[in-house]
Every structure is written in structure tokens, then in C-alpha cells.
A and B are shown apart, each in its own frame.
Chain A
């Protein structure tokens, strides 16, 4: 299950950056970039907390 979630998170990260790369190369429009990045953000913040840093509570020092 953890591996599956990690794959989903990895896909979300790819979907965060790749639209901007495609926009730079002229193969995607800006509205699509914004939509895909929003979708990727939602997926990232749903999938990643399920496996990353569970049971860890960092405390800042000074």
C-alpha cells in the first residue's frame, strides 16, 4: 500500500512540474498548466500524508 501511495505522490510531483515544461516548449497552454498543477497539488496533499513522516513530530530548536 505504501509503495502504491508513493507512486501516486511521485506522479503528482511529475504532474506539478511537467505542465510547466510543456508550456515552455509550446506544447501546452497556460490554462491547462494551471488546471493540471492544481490537480497535482490536491493529489499530492491527499496521498503524501498517508505515507510520509507518520509518527514523526519534529520540534524546532532555537
Chain B
């Protein structure tokens, strides 16, 4: 998951980024490599095992899905970003009008709160190793001990206070910790692998025997745990592609790539995808598969204990820092989004309020334990506005329609964009809940539905704009 964007400075919020402020390619590589090694990777990797993935599905699904994600940044986001050099919010304001952007901010802020909540959950599992209170199980919806609630509240309060007092210090800690965290994630995988080799009495002396171990012992492709959906190659591919959907298809990273000299800089996202969303996910899932191998009844997905068993106190420090440094900017961003809704309130108060909501969300383990579904929903909710930006920039003029219609006509709520957002979401969620099955496969599960949803949103926005612009004009 992507969190901290140190490149998305608050400069040039309402003007194109000038030439002298453009950044070099390596700035983007460093930023993406660091920000995608987040606390949530330690939840996502194990959850693949929970969903019963096989080695072929998870390895090749991640390779393909991450490549598609990189292409989405390169083909959809970066080309618009380097032409307009505006933030997503300012561009949306020109297209949608201030009132609709406020609504978008609200949705964005709420999703950020839940995301930050899951990061607080991850950090709190590290405290559980030290203080030995009962921690939530895979199927728990509600907190199961006072100790757990206290741990989440302490972690959440600390993170919220730091976010409220200012972001500079934690951004610096995040930058310093990033290279070290990447290597600790890699060490998780190496240690987990060796323990697997020892536990399974299998000799590994070549790539072929390593692959044999992966297929027969680590990612065996059996039934999913509990009542979770069985993940196939396509589930993994689409999850890897869309888990950062808000950033690429949803266009949130316009704010990042407006600083890029060329649109091919979008390939820098590969550093984040293949470090965080390949190596880190596989490493974390090896640790969880090892836990299940040792005790099939222990299905708890708890990053703290997993990391501690593999790498000791260094592993625990990694879990705490990974959760903290990523939850912090997420709360900060959610605070900014909410502040746009209530501009009369101070950023300090709004950020504390936001942190309280995130902490409350973190108390309930269901969000973290169902993170794969939540992340897909998060992307889906913000996706239609990305399609609106895409259609507005590339397609409207070809249909004889006006881009930046709200700015052009002085509207505060562009109904064509607003209806596109709501109707697309209604159709997509309707398809998800319809449970339609074709040859025993459900093509409209939450992980897949955003793909047809993007085409629906694009077509809807053009059609509604034609109708709306002819009436309003």
C-alpha cells in the first residue's frame, strides 16, 4: 500500500509546477521504493495464504498484476500529470466544482481513516508480544481483550498527536527507516524460508527444488481458511493491479507526477511494486505459511508475533515503525481532506479528531483481517473520479464538449461528474452483490468489478456531459 508521498509538497497547490521545480527520475524511484514497504504489507502477504493461493497463482499473479499497476501509472496518470502539472484536487475543482470536490474529500478522508486504522492495528500487534495480552483472531470482528483496546488507543493517540503537531519529523524518520525496513522485510523471507526447509525436511539445493518447496509446502493452493473466498491467479493479479487504484487509475498521484520531467518516469513505480508488493508480500506470507505449517490451528494473522519469531526485536521495531510511519501521513492526509470540508476548524483539531476515528477503527480487528476486500473497496470508491479526469482531459474535446466545465461555467457542483461517480458506484456494487456466476466463476467480485466500472464511468461521464452541457449552457 502507498502512504507517504514526500514529493507531494504543499507547494504549487493552485498553479502548475514551474520548470525549475521539476525533479529527477531517481527522486521518484526512491520515493516509491520506500513508501510501498508499509505496515499493511505484513497483513496482505499472510492474507493471500488465508485465501488459499497456490505458488503459481501468487508468484505469477503478482508479477503480472504489478506490471499492470506500473503501466497504469505510466499510461493513465503520468501523461496527464506532466501536461497539466496540477494536483488532483485542483484539477477536480476545475472539472467538478468546489461542492463536489468537498464530497470527494469527505469520502477520501473516511477511507484514509479506515486505512490508518488498519496500520494502527498492525503496530499494536507488536505491543502484544511485549505485554502478552490476548490479541484478535482471524475471524474476530470486535476487540477481544482490554489489553488490545488499550494498546490500540496508546498507539493511535501517539500517532495522532505526532500527526497533529506536524509532519516534518515523522517524514524524516520514514525516509531514514525506509532502506533498513526494505532489508528487514527481505530478511523475514530468508529466515522464513530456511525455517521452512528445516521444518519440512526437504532438501533445497537448486531453483527447481526451491520451487518444489514453494508449491508443496508454502503456497499449497488448498482451501481458504474460514469462509474466505478462494483466490486464483486472477484474484492475485487484479488485487496487485488495483490495490493502489486510488493512486493510478484514481489519479491521486497526479500530485506526484506533476513534478516529473517526462511521463515515462511512471516506470519508477516499479521500484515500489516489486520491492513492496512482491518481495515484501511474499516474505510476509512465508512467515504466515510457516506458522500454519507448525500449527494448522493457529490461523491468527498477527504481524508482531510473526516478525518477532523471525527476526527478534529488530523485527518488532520494523513492525512498529512500518505501521507508525505509514499511519501518520495517512491520518495527516485524512485531516487535510476533512479540513477542506470544515475549513473553519484548525488543522490541529481536525487531525486529532481524524486520529480518534482511525484509532476507533483500529480497535476493531475486522478491518485489518478483511484488508484485501477493504483495499479493493477503497480503490473502487475513488476510481470513478479518476475516469472523470481521464475523460475530461483526453476525450471531451473530441466530442465537441468543454473540459474543466465547472470552472468554465462557474458551477460549484458539476452534476455530470457527480452522477457519474454515484451511478458507477451503484452499478459496481450492484454487480458485486448480484453474485452473478458464469461457468462457476463470479466475474463481478469486489476485486474485479473496478475494471468494467472504469469503462462504465468513462462512458457515463461523456454521455452525461453531452446532456448536461447542452442544458446548462
Contacts and interface: CB of A to CB of B under 8 A. Distances in A.
Are A and B a genuine interacting pair, yes or no? yes
Interface of A: 12-13, 16-17, 19-21, 23-24, 26, 30, 33-35, 37-38, 40-41, 44-45, 48-49, 52-53, 56-62
Contacts of A13: 179-180, 183
Nearest to B190: A20
B392 interface: no
A61 to B, nearest CB: 3
A57 B79 CA distance: 28
Interface centre among A19, A45, A57, A61 (most CB of B within 10 A): A61
Given A20-B187, A45-B176, A49-B176, A61 B311 contact: no
A34 B314 contact: yes
B180 A60 contact: no
29 contacts: A16-B180, A16-B187, A16-B314, A17-B186, A17-B190, A20-B191, A30-B191, A33-B191, A34-B311, A34-B312, A34-B315, A41-B314, A48-B176, A52-B176, A53-B172, A53-B176, A56-B172, A56-B175, A57-B168, A58-B167, A59-B6, A60-B4, A60-B332, A61-B9, A61-B87, A61-B256, A62-B88, A62-B333, A62-B336
Contacts of A61: 5, 8-10, 87, 255-256, 333
B184 interface: yes
Contacts of B108: 62
B183 A62 contact: no
B11 to A, nearest CB: 8
A59 B187 contact: no
A40 to B, nearest CB: 7
Interface of B: 4-10, 87-89, 108, 167-169, 171-172, 175-177, 179-180, 183-184, 186-187, 190-191, 193-195, 252, 255-256, 311-315, 317, 329, 332-333, 336-337
Contacts of A48: 176, 180
Given A16-B187, A41-B184, 6 more contacts: A24-B190, A34-B312, A34-B314, A58-B175, A60-B329, A62-B8
B184 A37 contact: yes
A59 B168 contact: yes
Nearest to A19: B187
Contacts of A34: 311-315
B171 A44 contact: no
A44 B171 CA distance: 17
Contacts of B186: 17, 20
Contact of B183 (A17, A23, A35, A57): A17
A38 B168 contact: no
A44 B180 contact: yes
A20 B313 CA distance: 14
B5 A60 contact: yes
Nearest to A37: B314
B312 A38 contact: yes
A21 B333 contact: no
A26 B198 CA distance: 10
B177 to A, nearest CB: 8
Contact of B172 (A26, A30, A35, A57): A57
B194 A23 contact: yes
Contact of B191 (A23, A38, A41, A45): A23
Nearest to A12: B180
A23 B180 CA distance: 19
Which of A12, A23, A35 counts the most chain B CB atoms within 10 A?
A23
B170 to A, nearest CB: 9
A12 B88 CA distance: 39
A17 B283 CA distance: 13
A3 B175 CA distance: 19
Contact of B193 (A24, A38, A52, A53): A24
A40 B180 CA distance: 9
Nearest to A28: B194
A22 to B, nearest CB: 9
Contact of B312 (A12, A35, A62): A35
A41 B187 CA distance: 13
Contacts of B255: 61-62
A43 B245 CA distance: 37
A38 B180 CA distance: 12
A40 B190 CA distance: 17
